[in-house]
Structure 1
Amino acid sequence: MAWDPFQQVELWQEREPEPFQKLDSLAALAPELPDLPDDAPPFLTGVVGYLGYELAWSLEVIGEAKPRRYAVPDGVLMVPRRTIVVDDERKETWVAVVADNEAEKVLQAAVEELLCWERESLVEMAPVKGGPIQMVPEIAPDDYFQRVQRVKEYIGRGDIYQANLSYRISGSMNGDPWQLYRCLRKANPGAYSAFLRFADHAILSSSPEQFIRWEKGWIETKPIKGTRPRGREQTEDGRFKEELAASEKDRAELLMIVDLERNDLGKFCFPGTVQVPVLFAIEPHPTVWHQVAVVKGQIRPGVTPGQLMAGMFPGGSITGAPKIRSMQIIHELESSRRGVYTGSIGYVDRRGNGEWNIAIRTMTWWNGELSFHVGGGIVADSDPRAEYEETIAKGKGMMEAIRRFSEREPAAAGRGM
């Protein structure tokens, strides 16, 4: 948990020609932050925030950006004064305070304040107070079928091998987005979840997917390709898992993205160090099964966090292959901006290490308006109806969270950024 920034920047795609340099400029403040003990957990101090999908327009020629529906920045990065990190494995809580006056009493008071805030705000929160939310897709199923067919035509012409096609679902919402995030964490917990709240907007993410993580000179990415719903009982659940593991289509889909990610890592890794230690692993998640790979490499000296992000952004698993042409086709066929969806949320810590998610299973709240996207990878033998059903499966956890919030069910407290 991090807040009270002493540095914060907003990034707008049409105003910021080099947004990833902002990450480096904030990371350059690290010498001003407290030194960390050797056994400190990740991100005790550093830069934290999100980078939206349209910031990729600064990297490649994609097309004229679509108009904004909400006045939400394409990215926000901050260096917080106050941070709490809870290590569940070691049963430890760490607190960092960036203070002008480092007198012992000032720091002691700040620590007590933070621990009191954690106890009162996260453990003993009141039941959720929501209200009816009617979420409406921006396109009908038949429209999605037609767009899938258009992608397949591009594949048949040789433009691309695969493209990730998505659509937006939106509605009005009364109530506190933090309370909705608590429902989301309960309905669809994700290993790379985050809650970020700003003056007039909030990002609620229950992402299962790591984008990139780097530490001690090595970087890895973990693309997801291939999805099946979880079964209602053990036999059905096992059948869906086996079906995904045996699917030639899904294996080919992941292999295309692994090749793309190997190429992206090669931009800043030593030759010969890029490797794929995990391929075609099947991972369980609350509402779906996912097929996952791990690609890693050793970073050449002198490469900055901003250069790492720019070299990989956006993640290949949510664009397609080849990346640039897929993004151009996505831009042609999709109806609206993606915003934070398929961008990234994460941090660069005091030691220069970083970890960022792929912002899927992610909602955006803006002044009472709520929206999220769902999508999937389209390849030559994709069945339009099956692809549409996959988007429904991916949205199931978010829709369940909205249902619980609307019906005012209590939710267990969850931790986010």
Structure 2
Amino acid sequence: MSLSLHLEELVYQADSCELFERFADLPGAAFLDSCQGAPRAGRYDIITAQPAKDSPQPLSAQASPAQCQNYFAELGQFQRERYAGINSAADLPFCGGLLGYLGYDSGMGLQGLAAKEDDEAHGPPLASLQAYDWCIVQDHLLRRAVLVSLPTLAAAERQDYLSRARAARTTTASSDFVLSERFSSNLEAAEYREAFERIQSYIRAGDCYQVNLARRYNASYQGEPWQAYRRLRAVAGAPFSAFLAMAEDSALMSLSPERFIALRGSRVETRPIKGTRPRNMQDPAADRALAEQLQSSSKDRAENLMIVDLLRNDLGRSCVPGSIRVEQLFAVESYPTVHHLVSTITGELEAERSALDLLRDSFPGGSITGAPKRRAMEIIAELEPHRRQHYCGSVAYISADGRMDSNIAIRSLLCHSGQVLCWAGGGIVADSDCTAEFQETIDKVGQFLNCLEQSLKPVDKH
């Protein structure tokens, strides 16, 4: 049986943040943000909230490798059964379906590895993809906004969402986001150098070719994470950004420039980033020189090529043999804070494979692990002091009509239990320079940290 979507046209708004704020008080509010006005902005924004009561249960922070494998199998069964017969929405990226995040540590389980035992072992779930029966899509190319709902959504609920979307804008009081201390890192220079040298010894021994080593920054805060997201978005907007309100007043903020995997029909695309230079916005000539230096760097090109080969192999588990193509290699893309070296790989999904099969068999993304993937992940777990949690996982949706898109959750911050966590990393290869790699972990998120530290004020504990 074929089931049709219900579409209601809305007044297009250039700023989707204002529209999202009308739904931000609802449980599970989510905003997939293409960051209009930023360099390389995307086309669509997606807003939704209030997941269905029969949504899949999140994957516990204490999940075993077997439970991680079962989680993906259960998601696949849920998707097939709940959305059977939904018509494709030809000009809409998402029409309701599964939406949420996959934490990096759920990928440990997929590789047969146990997640690191640390203070975060009792933190937020490793993964949570919830079922949404409606969404608002803003198409910034066609300047069109539409509320899309599945046949399962009750008419009264649809009317409530329409009323919210069409209501006059009101200013509501909200608690600003305030840090109570400056950010500190779990790997300072001497500790980072020790980990760096350990990776070099593994490379020399032939254990691996590349390992992505990350530092975590943290600070305590009070107030609304949404206010922090709006400030960060203004200085570092990127096309695969997202704000997810989570349980227990937690939130995930992602200002990611990197697509993980997209699926449209049977066409698969991944766009790994590997290679970075800071921007120099005060001197256009110097900024161009930095981009040209990145483009011509043999070290960065070799690093990028390693990950391209790894991803070709990952896609080969789900795509038609012979269909995988490298469409673009070593393209420089410039964002508000950094230049990146980006490649594009495509393939054709095999007929018997689903979006969730593709996602499971490629996760986590090779651009944030290293090569070979499993060994690199073992080394990361050995050398990084804490779990990565959401960092280097993915914010993703699998639409009811089978489409999928996902980011690599770099440039991401997790707000949980009064702490805001932010990570930055880079790929270590045989000819890496420790000082330069350490500086890269500052260049990638330095503006994020500075932006939030402007709110710094002592917190009254009485």
CA contact (8 A) 2:221 2:419 kept: yes
Gaps of 5+ in 2: 1-46, 458-462
Match of 2:384 among 316, 323, 334: 334
Deviations 1:106-148 (A, max 9, x none): 74454122333xx637xx5779823234211012111111211
SS of 1:296's equivalent in the other structure is strand
CA contact (8 A) 1:226 1:250 kept: yes
For 2:195, the aligned partner's letter is: R
SS of 1:238's equivalent in the other structure is helix
Match of 2:137 among 70, 85, 89: 85
SS of 1:336's equivalent in the other structure is coil
Output the CA distance in 2 between the equivalents of 1:274 and 1:37.
Answer: 26
Shift of 1:255: 0.4
CA contact (8 A) 2:179 2:219 kept: no
SS of 1:182's equivalent in the other structure is helix
Deviations 1:274-320 (A, max 9, x none): 11010000000110000000111111111122211111000000000
1:321 corresponds to which residue? 371
Shift of 1:366: 0.8
Which structure exhibits the higher relative contact order, with contacts defined as CA atoms closer than 8 Å and separated by 6 or more residues?
A: 1
Match of 2:324 among 274, 291, 298: 274
Aligned residue pairs, count: 401
Shift of 1:2: 0.9
Matched, 1:71 2:118: no
1:413 corresponds to which residue? none
Residues 255-334 of structure 1 mapped to structure 2, 5 A cutoff:
255-334=305-384
Shift of 1:37: 4.5
Distance 1:3 1:344, change over 3 A: same
Shift of 1:58: 2.4
CA contact (8 A) 1:129 1:405 kept: no
Output the CA distance in 1 between the equivalents of 2:450 and 2:239.
Answer: 18
Output the CA distance in 2 between the equivalents of 1:332 and 1:24.
Answer: 32
Output the CA distance in 2 between the equivalents of 1:72 and 1:251.
Answer: 36
Match of 2:268 among 215, 219, 228: 219
2:186 corresponds to which residue? 138
1:414 corresponds to which residue? none
Distance 1:278 1:108, change over 3 A: same
2:74 corresponds to which residue? 22
CA contact (8 A) 1:48 1:79 kept: yes
Residues 365-404 of structure 1 mapped to structure 2, 5 A cutoff:
365-404=415-454
Deviations 1:158-190 (A, max 9, x none): 111100001211110111001111111111101
Shift of 1:68: 3.6
1:228 corresponds to which residue? 277
Shift of 1:341: 0.5
Output the CA distance in 2 between the equivalents of 1:328 and 1:82.
Answer: 40
CA contact (8 A) 1:131 1:406 kept: yes
Shift of 1:36: 5.5
CA contact (8 A) 1:34 1:45 kept: no
Shift of 1:149: 1.3
Shift of 1:96: 2.3
CA contact (8 A) 1:23 1:305 kept: no
Distance 1:280 1:169, change over 3 A: same
SS of 2:439's equivalent in the other structure is helix
Shift of 1:395: 1.1
Output the CA distance in 1 between the equivalents of 2:87 and 2:115.
Answer: 44
CA contact (8 A) 1:63 1:331 kept: no
TM-score of the aligned structures, taking structure 2 as reference length? 0.82
Output the CA distance in 2 between the equivalents of 1:106 and 1:255.
Answer: 49
1:3 corresponds to which residue? 49
2:31 corresponds to which residue? none
Output the CA distance in 2 between the equivalents of 1:265 and 1:399.
Answer: 35
Q: CA RMSD in A?
A: 2.2
Deviations 1:184-207 (A, max 9, x none): 111110110000002211100001
Shift of 1:74: 0.8
CA contact (8 A) 1:3 1:81 kept: no
Distance 1:188 1:138, change over 3 A: same
For 1:5, the aligned partner's letter is: P
2:105 corresponds to which residue? 54
Distance 1:45 1:238, change over 3 A: same
Residues 151-300 of structure 1 mapped to structure 2, 5 A cutoff:
151-200=199-248, 201-231=250-280, 232-300=282-350
1:346 corresponds to which residue? 396
1:410 corresponds to which residue? none
Output the CA distance in 2 between the equivalents of 1:364 and 1:351.
Answer: 30
Q: Which moved more, 1:259-268 or 1:90-99?
A: 90-99
CA contact (8 A) 2:229 2:243 kept: yes
Shift of 1:67: 2.1
For 2:331, the aligned partner's letter is: A
Output the CA distance in 2 between the equivalents of 1:373 and 1:277.
Answer: 30
Deviations 1:343-397 (A, max 9, x none): 1101001210100100000000113211011110000011100000000011123
Output the CA distance in 2 between the equivalents of 1:376 and 1:42.
Answer: 31
Output the CA distance in 1 between the equivalents of 2:173 and 2:356.
Answer: 40
Match of 2:146 among 77, 91, 94: 94
CA contact (8 A) 2:89 2:95 kept: no
SS of 1:120's equivalent in the other structure is coil
